[in-house]
C-alpha cells in the first residue's frame, strides 16, 4: 500500500517562531520550579525545551530536504531523531533526583523536565496551539493541583518529653481531639544528660495519619506549646 506524504517547506521565519515559543514555554515552567527552589530552574527548563525544539525543527528540515529531492532511492524514517530526546532526557531528569536521609526529592522536577522536552518537540514540529494547551495543563499540575486535592501522607513523628504521666495524657488527648489516626507507636527511655535527679526523657515514635483539615506544621506548633515536650520532629525510619 502506498502512502502519500505531503511535505510543507519550513522557512527561517517558522524556525525563529518555534525557537522563541519553546524558550517562552520552558521559561514559564522553569520559573515555577525555581520559585519553589527546586534543583532544575528557569535556565534548565528553557534549555531542555529549546534543545528538544531544535531537534524537531532539524528533523522537519531534513524531511523537507529529502522530500524536495523527489527520489525513490531515499527513505524517510520519521521520529527516529525525536525519539532519542524522549529517552535521553531521562539522564538529565535523573540528575535532579537525590536521596537524603532515605527521603527521595526531585521527582516532580524530573517529570517536569520530561514534559518540557515533549513540549519542545511539539513546538518544533509546529503544533503551537497543542503546546499551549499542554503547557497550561502542566502549570495546573505544578501550581494548582496540590492546593485543590490535598493528600496528607502518613507521618512518622518523634516526640521527646519528660513528666511521662501528665505529658502522655496531653499528647493522647490532643491526637484524639484532632481526629489524628495513630497507626503505630514505638517508645523507649533515655536518661536526660546533666540531670541531677537522673530524670528520664521519654521518646515516642508515632505513625500518624492526619486529617485533611490539619496541617503538620500546626500540629508541631501546638504540641510544642507544652513545656514538658522537648522535641517534635518527623522521622523517615
Q: What is the pLDDT of residues 182-218, one digit of tens each?
A: 888 998 888 766 655 557 888 999 988 888 788 888 8
Q: Output the pLDDT for position 3.
A: 36
Cα distance between residue 50 and residue 44, in whole Å: 10
Per residue in 43-81, pLDDT tens? 888 888 988 898 888 888 877 776 555 555 556 666 777
Report the chain's mean pLDDT, rounded to a whole number: 80
Q: Which CATH superfamily is domain 155-234 in?
A: ACT domain (3.30.70.260)
Contact 120, 58 (CB under 8 A): no
For the purposes of burial, counting CB atoms within 10 Å of the CB of 162, is it exposed (0-12), middle (13-18) or buried (19 or more)?
middle
Q: Which residue has the higher pLDDT, 151 or 137?
A: 137
Q: How many CB atoms lie within 10 A of CB 62?
A: 13
Decide if pLDDT at 160 tops 70: yes
Residue 214 CB-half CA count within 13 A: 21
Per-residue confidence band for 175, with pLDDT thresholds at 50, 70 and 90: very high
127 phi/psi in degrees, rounded to 5: -95, 75
Decide if pLDDT at 173 tops 90: yes
Helices (H), the chain: 12-35, 42-69, 80-95, 107-124, 128-143, 145-148, 164-177, 216-224
Cα distance between residue 127 and residue 53, in whole Å: 11
Per-residue confidence band for 101, with pLDDT thresholds at 50, 70 and 90: low
Domain ranges (residues) in the chain: 12-148, 155-234
214 phi/psi in degrees, rounded to 5: -115, 125
Contact 30, 47 (CB under 8 A): no
Per-residue confidence band for 6, with pLDDT thresholds at 50, 70 and 90: very low
Contact 22, 56 (CB under 8 A): no
Amino acid at each position: 500500500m502506498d502512502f502519500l506524504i505531503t511535505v510543507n517547506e519550513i522557512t527561517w521565519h517558522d524556525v525563529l517562531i518555534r525557537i522563541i515559543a519553546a524558550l517562552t514555554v520552558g521559561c514559564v515552567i522553569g520559573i515555577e520550579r525555581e520559585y519553589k527552589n527546586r534543583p532544575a530552574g528557569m535556565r534548565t527548563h528553557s534549555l531542555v525545551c529549546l534543545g528538544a525544539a531544535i531537534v524537531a525543527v532539524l528533523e522537519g528540515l531534513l524531511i523537507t530536504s529529502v522530500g524536495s529531492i523527489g527520489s525513490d532511492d531515499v527513505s524517510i524514517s520519521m521520529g527516529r531523531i525525536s525519539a532519542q530526546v524522549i529517552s535521553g532526557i531521562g539522564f538529565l531528569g535523573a540528575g535532579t533526583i537525590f536521596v537524603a536521609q532515605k527521603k527521595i526529592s526531585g521527582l516532580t522536577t524530573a517529570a517536569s523536565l520530561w514534559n518540557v522536552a515533549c513540549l519542545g518537540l511539539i513546538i518544533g514540529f509546529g503544533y503551537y496551539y497543542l503546546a499551549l494547551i499542554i503547557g497550561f495543563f502542566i502549570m495546573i499540575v505544578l501550581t494548582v493541583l496540590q492546593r485543590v486535592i490535598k493528600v496528607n501522607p502518613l507521618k512518622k513523628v518523634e516526640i521527646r518529653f519528660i513528666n511521662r504521666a501528665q505529658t502522655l495524657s496531653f499528647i493522647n488527648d490532643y491526637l484524639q481531639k484532632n481526629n489524628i489516626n495513630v497507626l503505630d507507636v514505638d517508645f523507649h527511655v533515655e536518661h536526660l544528660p546533666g540531670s541531677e535527679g537522673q530524670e528520664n526523657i521519654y521518646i515516642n515514635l508515632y505513625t500518624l495519619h492526619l486529617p485533611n483539615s490539619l496541617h503538620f506544621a500546626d500540629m508541631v506548633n501546638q504540641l510544642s506549646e507544652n513545656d514538658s515536650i522537648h522535641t517534635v520532629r518527623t522521622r523517615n525510619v
